[in-house]
Amino acid sequence: MVSTKLYTAIYAVLFVSATVQVLVEFAGLSYWLAFGVIMVLSAAKAVLVAAYFQHLRFEPRSLTYLVGIGLVAALALTLAASYSLL
């Protein structure tokens, strides 16, 4: 499996990237550009946690798909509902 060292490195990356998210906010980018960068960072962190801390990378792929289905359902609801307002 994964060494404690790698876990520590991932933890450091997560820590830093959370900090970067706040810095991006104060960097004076346009709202939607900052929005994009921040959300991408969040997603990247989530993937790291799921892949290594929850060790989905080392499990049968079906578990990843399972979570993916939940995610798709949640996104479908959010996006379609928001779109219906426009």
Partner 1 sequence: MTDASPGGDAAADGGHEVARGGDDHDFPGTGSIKRWFVTTNHKDVGILYIVTSLFFLVLGGVLAWLMRIQLLAPRALGEGILAPVAYNQAVSAHGLLMVFWFLSPFAFGFANYVVPLQLGAKDLAFPRLNALSYWLYLFSGILFGVSFFQGGTFSGGWTMYAPLNVPTFTPDVGASTAVLALVLFVASVTVSSVNFLTTMHRMRAEGLTLRNVPLFSWTILLTAWMMLFAFAALLAALLVLSSDRLLGTTYFAMESPAGALLWTHLFWFFGHPEVYIVFFPALGVMAEVFQTFPGRRIVGRKWFILAMVLVAIQSFAVWMHHMFLTSINLQVKTLFMITTIGISLPFDLMVFALIYTMLKGKIRFTTPFLFVFGALLLFIIGGITGVFLGAVVLDYEFRGTYWVVAHFHYVMVGGVTALVGGLYYWFPKMTGRMYDEFLGKLHFAVYFVGFNLLYFPLFVAWETPRRVFDYAPELAPWHQLATVGGFVLGLSFLIMFYNLFKSAFVGDPAPDNPWEYATTAEWAVSSPPPLENFDGTPTYRDGHLEFIDDGEVAPSEERSGGPTGAAVSDGGVTASATRAVTADAELPTAEATEVEGPSHASIWPFVLSAGAFLVLLGLSPLQDAAFPEGMVGAAYATTAVAGGVVTLGSLVAMGLEPFHGPVFEEGEAWPFAGIDNGKVGMWIFLASDVVLFGGFLGAYVFTRVAFGWTGWEPIPSDPIPGLVNTYILLTSSFTVVLALVAAEKKHKWGLVTSLGATFVLGIGFLVNKGLEWQHLFHEGLWLSTNVRASTFFLTTGLHAAHVIAGLVVALYLTARAWRGAYLEDSRSVEYFGLYWHFVDIVWLFLFPLFYIL
CA torsion 61-62-64-69 (nearest 10°) is: 150
CB of 61 to partner 1, least distance (A): 8
The least CB distance from residue 55 to partner 1, in Å, is 9
First to last CA, the chain: 48
Nearer to partner 1, 57 or 76 (CB): 76
Of 57 and 78, CB closest to partner 1: 78
Least distance from C-beta 9 to partner 1, angstroms? Answer: 11
> Which residues of the shown chain bind partner 1 in the complex (CB under 8 A)?
4, 7-8, 11, 14-15, 18-19, 21-22, 25, 31, 34-35, 38-39, 41-42, 45-46, 49-50, 53-54, 59-60, 62-63, 65-67, 69-71, 73-78, 80-86
Exposed, middle or buried by CB within 10 Å (0-12, 13-18, 19+), for 10?
A: middle
Token pair for residue 29?
Answer: 């980018």
Instruction: Tell me the one-letter amino acid at 11.
Output: Y
